[in-house]
Amino acid sequence: MDLKTAIRTIPDYPKPGIMFRDVTTLFGDAAAFEQAARQMAAPWQSLSIDLVVGIEARGFILGGALALLLGAGFVPLRKPGKLPFETVSEDYELEYGMDTLHMHVDAVRARQRVLLVDDLIATGGTAMAGMHLLKRVGAEIVGAGFLVDLPDLGGAERLRAEKMQVHTLLSFEGH
């Protein structure tokens, strides 16, 4: 199955010139979702992952599936005000301002082997924030996995420049 055909492209969203890659259509197709999850998990199967860390919000969907396939636990990285217990956080820049990722203080222990997961990597700002947050708490980041890469925006290369092992399943030129 060609997984690219399961992803809807919406031109000019959220603004003119952007080709929005809507992965919810892939999630809604059981066969495509299973294939994508299995293919995303494959590179990490033999690496003894303790935790899959998913970035809000579509990273939760993929991260939960990968955690099950890898026999690992799951940890969400959330936006401010979404977690009920004490958190650690990491601020990061967006093209239009700042944002923050939060994680419960007891979600990841030092030296736990973690895999960072999200649906899409564009400029890499959110993934870099997740990586910095995990390093701050002493996690051993085994790598990062993404369903979609927008290589023109350079996010995967930013992570690789930080010595992060990165696997992406699909690539869409242009954005």
**What is the amino acid identity at position 45?**
Q
Is residue 95 annotated as part of the catalytic site, yes or no?
A: yes
pLDDT in tens, the chain (175 residues): 999 999 999 999 999 999 999 999 999 999 999 999 999 999 999 999 999 999 999 999 999 999 999 999 999 999 999 999 999 999 998 767 899 999 999 999 999 999 999 999 999 999 999 999 999 999 999 999 999 999 999 999 999 999 999 999 999 997 7
Tokens describing residue 172 = 């869409």
Q: What is the pLDDT of residue 97?
A: 82
Q: What is the pLDDT of residue 21?
A: 97
Please give the full DSSP string across 36-49, using - where no structure is assigned. HHHHHHGGGTTS--
Catalytic residue, candidates 8, 21, 38, 58: 58
Domains and CATH numbers, the chain: 45-171 (3.40.50.2020)
Q: What is the pLDDT of residue 96?
A: 73
Cα atoms in the Cβ-side hemisphere of radius 13 Å centred on 83: 20
Distance CA 94, CA 146 (A): 19
Q: What is the pLDDT of residue 59?
A: 98
- Asked if 101 contacts 133 with a C-beta cutoff of 8 angstroms, the reply is yes
- Asked if 3 contacts 169 with a C-beta cutoff of 8 angstroms, the reply is yes
- Asked if 136 contacts 128 with a C-beta cutoff of 8 angstroms, the reply is no
Which residues on neighbouring strands pair with residue 149, listed in sequence order? 121, 171
Burial of 161 (C-beta count, 10 Å sphere; 0-12/13-18/19+): exposed
Q: Which residue has the tokens 């952007």?
A: 18
Distance CA 160, CA 166 (A): 7
Catalytic residue, candidates 38, 56, 93, 95: 95
108: helix, coil or strand? coil
